[in-house]
């Protein structure tokens, strides 16, 4: 299993500003995943972050808008840049620590509201 701490748990931000979300895991993991969950919607993968390499972004998400850092095997950050109200969402960090990379664990999420 894995315990994931995400900070902040929620924030209200002005449009045009940026917010960095932190994700700390209690064990070393190869890959960390960032998801977006819009209100009442499912989870959409933003990017996969591997330690020591550039993050891999899914279609519709770009590095300039969602830069990711992965400085070590237990920590990652996601920045939401130049925010607009459309970025209001829950952002979730996830890991899959099992050897077969099947079981996903999630942080509690960061609820972002852009005004």
Partner 1 sequence: QQQVKQSPQSLIVQKGGISIINCAYENTAFDYFPWYQQFPGKGPALLIAIRPDVSEKKEGRFTISFNKSAKQFSLHIMDSQPGDSATYFCAASYLNSGSARQLTFGSGTQLTVLP
Give residues 1-20 in contact with partner 1 (rule: CB under 8 A). 4, 6
The two structure tokens encoding residue 25: 């895991």
Q: Residue 65, interface with partner 1 (CB under 8 A)?
A: no
Residue 38 touches partner 1, criterion: CB under 8 A:
no
**Nearest CA-CA partner of 4 in 105, 81, 73:** 105
Stretch that binds partner 1, among 14-22, 34-42, 60-68, 72-80 (CB under 8 A): 34-42
Sign of CA dihedral 28, 61, 112, 41: negative
Question: In whole angstroms, what is the distance from residue 56 CA to residue 41 CA?
Answer: 23
Name the site residues for partner 1 (rule: CB under 8 A).
4, 6, 40-43, 45, 48, 92, 94, 96, 100-109, 111
């Amino acid at each position: 299993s894995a315990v994931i701490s995400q900070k902040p748990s929620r924030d209200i931000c002005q449009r045009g500003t940026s917010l960095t979300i932190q994700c700390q895991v209690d064990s070393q993991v190869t890959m960390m995943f960032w998801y977006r969950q819009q209100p009442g919607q499912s989870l959409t993968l933003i990017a996969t972050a591997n330690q020591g390499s550039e993050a891999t972004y899914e279609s519709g998400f770009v590095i300039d808008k969602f830069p990711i850092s992965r400085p070590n095997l237990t920590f990652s950050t996601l920045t939401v840049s130049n925010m607009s109200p459309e970025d209001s969402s829950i952002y979730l960090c996830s890991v899959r620590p099992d050897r077969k990379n099947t079981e996903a664990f999630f942080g509690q999420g960061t609820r972002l509201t852009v005004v």
